[in-house]
Amino acid sequence: MQLIDKQRRTLLQGAAALGATSWLGSAAAQAGKAWPNKPIRLVVPFNAGGATDLVARTLGEALAQRLGQPVVVDNKGGASGILGTDNVAKAQPDGHTLLVSLSTSMLINQFLYTKLPYNPQKDLTLISQIAAAPVTLVVHPSVPASNMKELLAWLKANKGKVSYGSWGVGSYAHLAGAYMSKSTDSDMVHSAYKGEAPMIQDLLGGQIQVCFSSAQNTKSFIETGRLKAIGVTGRQRMEILPKLPTIYEQGVQDDAYAIFGWVAMGAPAGLPQPIVEQLSAHLREIAKDPKVIERIQGAGFTPMMNSPQEFQQNYQKDMPVWKKLVDDAGARLD
């Protein structure tokens, strides 16, 4: 009799566990099915008007049409994207708060800052890399170099005489410039600016000689000859500057120049899988819209719109490269 009672209890416990699992699965499915049931907040951790903001607003318009709910872009700039990204990381994972940000806040900052209020690997759900964000390498017209190999040779021959700019400590422009200085033993001076616009103005004026910058900020000056373009980062040419070769195809294939930043969509950790899948499916459909692609390319980006799995794979592959760049630059922030 005791054996029968024991078996009965085991069966009842198993049924209860199965019921709980079934309920959880049903709850997750319902979470996806009911979503969205109110306006979606799309947080951009940078000020309005920039290229990332443009991409976010483009996506917001397209998602609103497909989801039947307003999508409100919420610019929360400050601290290299930390404030806005942290706001999303601490939000409810119900699919009504999403993030559109750069690799800076979603990946690189964890190596730059000794005290980061969020852990991007634990506190964020990776949904999709929206677009690759390569940048141009430009120099003042007085620099006697027309390609990457000539520039590197000139830097070596002018140790301690060259200044390079960046749009902030820890930015790609800073990290890549520091790598270039170290690899050529040219001892370049780093000038950090509050944004790309003042950096470009000083480059035009000759106060600095070299910088990496977005095509959105350099294209018009390249075309008028006020700046000289050396190359593009990444391994693919830009749609808006199709004649400008990548640094990689010029034979300089260091990871520091072959890697590229990106614009991506994320959400708080714990976002139900059905919502992740729905978002991913919508983004794949949005990527088929020629107007969306045109606007993304016009901002100097290359559309990607990959899956959460592909995003995760790329993230893991990029991490050691960015960590090494930060270590080489000696960039550490509190």
In a domain, 280, yes or no: yes
Q: Which of 208, 242, 258 is the last residue of a domain?
A: 258
In a domain, 158, yes or no: yes
| 107 shares a domain with 60 | yes
Identify the band that residue 8 occupies on the pLDDT scale cut at 50, 70 and 90: very low
In a domain, 239, yes or no: yes
| Sequence-ordered strand ranges (E) for 214-319 | 228-232, 261-268, 302-303
pLDDT in tens, 31-44: 446 899 999 999 99
**Predicted local confidence at residue 147, as pLDDT:** 98
In a domain, 168, yes or no: yes
Residue 283, domain extent: 40-132+260-329
Mean pLDDT comparison of 51-55, 88-92, 164-168, highest-scoring range: 88-92
| 324 shares a domain with 264 | yes
Q: What percent of the chain has pLDDT over 90?
A: 81
CATH of residue 107's domain is 3.40.190.150
What are the CB-based long-range contacts (under 8 Å, 24+) for 251-257? 251/148, 251/149, 252/148, 252/149, 252/152, 254/179, 254/183, 255/321, 255/324, 256/175, 256/176, 256/179, 256/180, 256/183, 256/321, 256/325, 257/148, 257/176, 257/231, 257/233
Q: Which of 258, 283, 318 is the last residue of a domain?
A: 258
| 264 shares a domain with 128 | yes
How many domains does the chain fold into? 2
In a domain, 245, yes or no: yes
Q: Which of 258, 276, 309 is the last residue of a domain?
A: 258
Higher pLDDT residue, 176 or 80?
176
| 73 shares a domain with 93 | yes
In a domain, 234, yes or no: yes
| 311 shares a domain with 301 | yes
CATH of residue 230's domain is 3.40.190.10
| 168 shares a domain with 124 | no
